[in-house]
A and B are shown apart, each in its own frame.
Chain A
């Protein structure tokens, strides 16, 4: 995470975008419910994420935090409630008579393009090099000319400190490097919001730092981020908003200060176990 990562001055930052749209949340969840069959995973989640801020979602496994993140990116469909991204309802549009119409494949893809997502298991395309992984969506989704996409991809990879690993296949990279490629791949689509689903949980302990470093750097640039993680230290240091979920509901939320001064017994209990 050294000098390679500093050429960021020209980035169209989320902070600038926020200046253009004051007051409107980047992501707003309204009474969100999700059930898988009889399993009621989310039981009415309300959340507001302002542009340019970092929200860290904490909670024990099975609390529904990953599911919530996947709902924002429409990898799961809502059972109840509504999620708006930049004021636009996701997954559905409201017809003139007030009924909901499911969006088609193309409309969903367009909404997803505003969101970047990073997965616990990286999910890099193993048959493509790091560079090809990052180029893939700009070339095939945005129809960017290959030469331009190559340049962009090299820039994004350099930004995450992997300028010297462009032609490596994922299997030739360490877990931390793979996750940084995954971040670069998401960033290459110029998302307005980045979603991180336990990005360091599959990593060996000594590799966690390099990934958190890249995330911290993104936060400093003003990227709107929602991070599901168990890294309490990262939450304390980087988060603008901390949300503690358990049993499918938001138990406690507030500034990063709530980690040092939890009110709810369940949150206290959780913090005692992870710290």
Chain B
């Protein structure tokens, strides 16, 4: 197999192995030095400038109100994203439905919730109990009621906060999900139909799992966006999340900067964790799509089902099949 060459196959007996000096890159060395100096100046400024008041940052970083704020921010982010994702999938499927009424409703929903500011929507949810004092279950368009409840007890400030965030987010996510669904080769649905699968099953078993690959990166973006959008729930008003909590402390002790830093540290930390989760999800839904194991001994784990004893001459064939696989 003389044609089988690994790009850097250490350990392979290549008699005429090339050993050459790399290209000189003076420009990049200069650029690196300049950037390093600028970074050092920035760090020095941050650390030594007394007006940042790091001692106060440290004092309030684990303050009880702040930790509670972190908890509520996380809770709001998770609940509203989960609800938004479920709603978005439903909206996206409705948007592609054969039923024009469902398509219309979905279109209208997305138009309305994307078209008005989330702040306005949150204020509206805060006023829900004023607009609709009682919620009831009965026969529609008649006065017959089986059960009813005070709006105020159901739509608390916390509930209004996540409902407002979720409904708004669902409109954006619905478009992301739709793009994902449309990116799946129509041949996939045809193959599933030919196997006797019904429409709902094709969506669940074949289309959605593949669409997830495309949906996850922008959804990760949206989740991180949501983390910070939760600070808008003071419009409801809901006042226990991180931004409001740190702001309240800052106003009390007249130290706005250190508490902004406290909030930023927590937001950064949570964002980092969310990014890790996102990359784990991407790996999971990328199953079967990952790059081929070409000449990367020791650099990539063997692919599932691929053992060390894989016959070498098969690799070329599999390589050729790679792009076919993406069409399949």
Contacts and interface: CB of A to CB of B under 8 A. Distances in A.
B187 A109 contact: no
A96 to B, nearest CB: 27
Contacts of B327: 121, 202
B196 A121 contact: no
A167 B193 CA distance: 24
Contacts of A185: 195
B194 A109 contact: no
Nearest to B196: A113
Nearest to B326: A171
Nearest to A124: B328
B304 A167 contact: yes
Contacts of A122: 324, 328
B210 interface: yes
B289 interface: yes
A166 B305 contact: yes
Nearest to B204: A140
Contacts of A169: 287-288, 303-305, 325
Contacts of B317: 174
B118 to A, nearest CB: 34
Interface in B199-245: 199, 201, 205-206, 209-210
A105 B194 contact: no
Interface residues of A, number: 45
A97 to B, nearest CB: 27
A103 interface: no
A186 B194 CA distance: 8
Interface stretch (A25-33, A34-42, A126-134, A151-159): A126-134
B195 A170 contact: no
B191 interface: yes
Given A123-B187, A125-B206, A170 B328 contact: yes
A173 B206 CA distance: 19
B320 A204 contact: yes
29 contacts: A75-B194, A106-B198, A109-B196, A115-B194, A117-B194, A123-B190, A126-B288, A127-B288, A136-B205, A137-B196, A140-B201, A140-B205, A141-B197, A169-B303, A169-B304, A169-B325, A170-B288, A170-B325, A171-B289, A171-B290, A171-B326, A172-B292, A172-B303, A172-B305, A172-B306, A175-B321, A178-B325, A186-B195, A189-B195
Interface of B: 185, 187-188, 190-199, 201, 205-206, 209-210, 285, 287-290, 292, 303-306, 317-318, 320-322, 324-328
